């Protein structure tokens, strides 16, 4: 079990490293997401072949997964854009609002009742965001984009709760990565004409970009996903949720170690981030307590959502 726990923390550390890799790679966010999803879908497709799993789906089901993949693409584009508009630390502080977004979207999309403690944690998160925005007012645009990115991440995670009941996680993620890559490719003509200031697409990668991109797509996406799915067979959803919520902590620590002074923020930023992280980390604890209480009552509680990061 200790080996499994350490492996899970290593996977979350890799996910926290993605914002740093996104800042190190020289191509713009849209082109970066195209390359990441192209390589990730190829890697996941290879895993399907090696594991001798059938990758075919009926057209209607395939289209639904491809559409969710388009949401994944917009999430990643806004995520990498936020890291470049501000700093990795501010980007990850905004991404930490994922739990707040999920608590808002789950009752709407999964038809479950609103939980009082989630409303309270949501208000606490807003206090933390206010402290961060006041402390780093010059990076407010990047923080806002990161919050939108967290909302998109929560949306496709909640949608995947329904979809994973009908598809294997590996096949589901393969189609979503393919859908993300395809949607970015279809967006290229509009993007090149209206959003590049006449520079056109910048798909050419520098030699060092290939190293960072292979780490991003191969290690932080394909390996981290397949390893996390395997760990879900032995670790509880509570442990996984609690550990995944540490992603911003690991990411901010790595950003300070790698980028140094440019990632060092004011005291108000760290105070606000601590408030957000407290609300995020206490959420699965309260969620588990709520489920135990519900099991003592005749009315069953809806299925627990396990945090995912494709």
Sorting pLDDT into bands at 50, 70 and 90, what band is 218? Answer: very high
Query: What percent of the chain is helix, strand and coil (3-state, nearest 5)?
Result: 80, 0, 20
**H or E segment and range at residue 307:** none
pTM exceeds 0.85, yes or no: yes
The conformation of residue 304, written as its DSSP 8-state character, comes to P
For position 300, what pLDDT does the model report? 53
Task: Provide the residue ranges of all domains of the chain, joining segments of one domain with +.
Answer: 2-295
% of residues, the chain, pLDDT over 90? 45
Residue 94: closest CA among 122, 134, 125 = 125
Token output for 176: 């979503």
Which residues make Cβ contacts (< 8 Å) with residue 63, sequence separation at least 6?
Answer: none
Judged against a pLDDT cut of 70, whether residue 78 lies above it is answered with: yes
106-143 pLDDT tens trace:
888 877 777 888 888 888 989 999 999 888 888 999 99
Mean pLDDT value of segment 24-35: 95
Lowest mean pLDDT, pick from 19-23, 50-54, 145-149:
50-54
Cα distance between residue 209 and residue 265, in whole Å = 27
Mean pLDDT value of segment 57-64: 92
Three-class secondary structure of residue 175 per DSSP: helix
Judged against a pLDDT cut of 60, whether residue 301 lies above it is answered with: no
243-266 pLDDT tens trace:
888 888 899 989 988 988 888 888
Token output for 126: 């807003």
């Amino acid at each position: 079990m200790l080996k499994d726990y350490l492996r899970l923390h290593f996977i979350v550390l890799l996910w926290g490293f993605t914002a740093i890799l996104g800042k190190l790679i020289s191509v713009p966010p849209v082109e970066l997401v195209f390359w990441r999803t192209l390589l990730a879908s190829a890697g996941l497709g290879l895993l399907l072949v090696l594991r001798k799993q059938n990758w075919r789906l009926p057209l209607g089901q395939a289209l639904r997964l491809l559409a969710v993949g388009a949401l994944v693409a917009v999430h990643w584009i806004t995520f990498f854009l936020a890291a470049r508009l501000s700093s990795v630390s501010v980007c990850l502080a905004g991404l930490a609002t994922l739990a707040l977004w999920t608590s808002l979207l789950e009752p709407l999309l999964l038809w479950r009742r609103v939980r009082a403690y989630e409303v309270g944690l949501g208000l606490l998160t807003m206090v933390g965001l206010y402290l961060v925005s006041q402390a780093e007012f010059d990076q407010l645009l990047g923080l806002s984009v990161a919050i939108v990115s967290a909302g998109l991440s929560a949306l496709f995670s909640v949608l995947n709760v329904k979809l994973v009941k009908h598809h294997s996680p590996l096949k589901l993620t393969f189609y979503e990565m393919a859908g993300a890559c395809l949607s970015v490719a279809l967006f290229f003509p509009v993007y090149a004409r209206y959003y590049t200031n006449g520079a056109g697409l910048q798909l050419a990668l520098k030699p060092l970009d290939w190293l960072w991109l292979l780490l991003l797509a191969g290690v932080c996406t394909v390996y981290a996903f397949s390893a996390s799915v395997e760990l879900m067979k032995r670790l509880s959803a509570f442990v996984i949720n609690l550990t995944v919520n540490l992603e911003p902590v690991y990411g901010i620590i790595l950003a300070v170690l790698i980028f140094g002074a440019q990632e060092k923020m004011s005291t108000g930023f760290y105070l606000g981030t601590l408030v957000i992280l407290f609300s995020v980390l206490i959420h699965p604890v309260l969620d588990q307590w709520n489920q135990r209480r519900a099991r003592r009552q005749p009315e069953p509680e809806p299925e627990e959502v396990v945090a995912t990061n494709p």
